[in-house]
Structure 1
Amino acid sequence: MARVSQEHLDARRRQILDGATRCFARNGFHATSMQDVLKEVDLSAGAVYRYFSGKEELIGAIVTEVLDEVRDAFEEGARQSPPPPPDVLVGWVMNKMLNLKPELTPEGVSIHPRLIIQVWGETLRNPELAAVINEGYAKVSGVWEKVVEAYQEAGMMRDDVSPESLARTMIALTQGFLAQMALFGPIPVETLQDGLRGLMSMGEPGTRS
């Protein structure tokens, strides 16, 4: 019997993850069964269970992948010296993330924000998933802290700002924007960038015309 190539195995795993992501984004984790996933990817149970032991493992794999994508995107943007200002960097990363999974829900919303909202809810009842989220958050926060340090070294940001504080603020900002997209429908990323530029332009009273 011919050996199955690694490329084939990787492609099949990708097929399963993408199909499960679409199912979870449409109907949520609890309303989606493994039978729904099997139907979505058009594979037998044996083919799917070769890669994932069940729904919980699928969810963990999807969450880990999304968090790694976020971290990698920020790391890529932050490699510039100095990094681009926050509005440019956040906009670039957000657009890249949304384009990684361009599928839309029936309501016209990108599946990525909707999936992320469901992950947050699931985290409250799933300690294993909470551990994955915490690890991913720490990685993304670490990247943002390096970006802040680079801003400070380049004289782009006051040096009495705590890198950890700003990292938490920027993560909260992007989380809130994704929540708005999931709850209220499509919002241009430029809206977030314009708001950031407005905040960044503030000075002491009377210093702006």
Structure 2
Amino acid sequence: MARVSQEHLDARRRQILDGAALCFARNGFHATSMQDVLKEVGLSAGAVYRYFSGKDELIHAIVSEVLGEIRAIFEEAARQTPPPPPDVLVGHAFGQVLGLRPELAQDGRAYFPRLLVQAWTETLRNDELRALIQGGYDGVRAAWVRIVEGYQAAGMMRADVSADRVARTMIAVAQGFAAQVALIDDVPVDALGDGLRGLMSMGEPG
């Protein structure tokens, strides 16, 4: 029997992940069955189960991949010296995040926010997914701490507030905006940067 190349194995795994992601984007985690995934990718159960033991493992793999891409976006931003102002940086980074996997957008809604909301609810029953998301959050938070420290070192941000607390707050802003994009119609993407710019313009009364 001819030996199957690693390239073929990788391509088949990619095919399964892409098909499952499309199903999840279309119908959500709970309404998607393994039969739906098999139909989408056009493969037998044996071919799919060679790579993934079931739906939970597929969800874990897809979420892990997306978290890695998001972390890379913010780590790249952290390497800029000094970083651009928060309204510019967060707006640009969020735009990149929304641009992930455009082929999986459904009803005009970007893929990542939909996946994020589904993953949050799934953590209520899936401890492994919860740990994965915790690790992804910690990675993004570490990148944001470096960004805030860059602001502080450049004199762009007050230094008497913990960089970690600022980082957590900026992540919360991005997460909340992602939830709006996923759940509410007609949320303009540039509203995030504009809103941050308005908040940053506040001064003392008088």
Task: Tell me whether the two structures share a fold, i.e. TM-score over 0.5.
Answer: yes
Unmatched 5+ stretches in structure 1: none
Q: List, as ranges, runs of 4+ consecutive aligned residues in structure 1 with deviation greater than 3 Å.
A: none
Name the SS for the 1:189 alignment partner.
Answer: coil
AA partner of residue 94 (structure 1): F
> Quick check: 1:88–1:193 contact (8 Å CA) kept in 2?
yes
Query: How do 1:91-130 residues align onto structure 2 when only pairs under 5 Å count?
Result: 91-102=91-102, 103-105=104-106, 107-130=107-130
Q: CA deviation at 1:70?
A: 1.0
AA partner of residue 104 (structure 1): A
Aligned to 1:53: 53
Q: Please, what TM-score do these two structures have when normalized by structure 1?
A: 0.93
Post-superposition Cα deviations, 1:42-79, rounded to whole Å, max 9, x if no partner, equal 22212211211110111111111111111100011221
> Quick check: 2:77–2:147 contact (8 Å CA) kept in 1?
no
Q: Please, what TM-score do these two structures have when normalized by structure 2?
A: 0.94
Query: How do 1:156-195 residues align onto structure 2 when only pairs under 5 Å count?
Result: 156-195=156-195
In 2, Cα distance between the equivalents of 1:91 and 1:11? 33
Change (3 A) 1:93 1:3: farther
> Quick check: 1:108–1:186 contact (8 Å CA) kept in 2?
no
Q: CA deviation at 1:193?
A: 0.5
Name the SS for the 1:143 alignment partner.
Answer: helix
> Quick check: 1:110–1:186 contact (8 Å CA) kept in 2?
no
In 2, Cα distance between the equivalents of 1:91 and 1:18? 27
The alignment-based identity, stated in percent, is 69
> How many residues align structurally?
205
> Quick check: 2:100–2:111 contact (8 Å CA) kept in 1?
no
RMSD: 1.3
Aligned to 1:196: 196
Name the SS for the 1:83 alignment partner.
Answer: coil
Q: CA deviation at 1:134?
A: 0.9
Post-superposition Cα deviations, 1:18-42, rounded to whole Å, max 9, x if no partner, equal 2111211221211111010111112
Unmatched 5+ stretches in structure 2: none
